[in-house]
Amino acid sequence: MYDSNIVVIDDDTITLELVQIILEEVTSGKIYVFSDSKQALDYVQSDSMDQISLVICDWLMPDVSGLDILAALRKSKPHCPFLMLTGNATKQLVVDSMRLGATDFIVKPFLTNDLLNKVERLIRDADGE
């Protein structure tokens, strides 16, 4: 179990709840969930991000896209792992996200173990373990 604080951003509240439950399996840290992409963008641009170990974010959301949030994160915390969630994994999305600095992808719907494995790897790699 890790003591990592994680931000999860998705406009689908069911996905948010599911991801939060899954993350509680791997971290004793805080899990910050945002269904409003504008609020999430404000948070990502704040000093609160200093304590965050991982961001998990949906790509397609109203108002602010996952790519916009990723770009903002890279300005404030360039080395923070970023896991992009998407139901529409096009080649162009993958290319655009990787250019902006996404660390990894997971396609919805996903298996619990797939998400757990990616999260554990990203946290472990970020901690240098």
Structural domain of 66: 5-92+105-117
pLDDT digit string, tens, across residues 81-91: 999 999 887 88
Per the domain annotation, does 125 fall within a domain?
no
Q: What pLDDT band is residue 79 in, cutting at 50, 70 and 90?
A: very high
Instruction: Give DSSP secondary structure letters for 71-95.
Output: HHHHHH-TTS-EEEEES---HHHHH
How many structural domains is the chain composed of?
1
pLDDT digit string, tens, across residues 28-74: 999 999 999 999 999 999 999 999 999 999 999 999 999 999 999 99
Per the domain annotation, does 79 fall within a domain?
yes
Give the per-residue pLDDT at 94: 85
Instruction: Decide: residue 20, CB within 10 A, 0-12 exposed, 13-18 middle, 19+ buried.
Output: middle
Q: What is the CATH number of the domain that holds 88?
A: 3.40.50.2300
Half-sphere exposure of 16 (CA within 13 A, CB side): 16
Per the domain annotation, does 72 fall within a domain?
yes
Give the per-residue pLDDT at 57: 98
User: Does residue 93 surpass a pLDDT of 60?
Assistant: yes
Per the domain annotation, does 112 fall within a domain?
yes
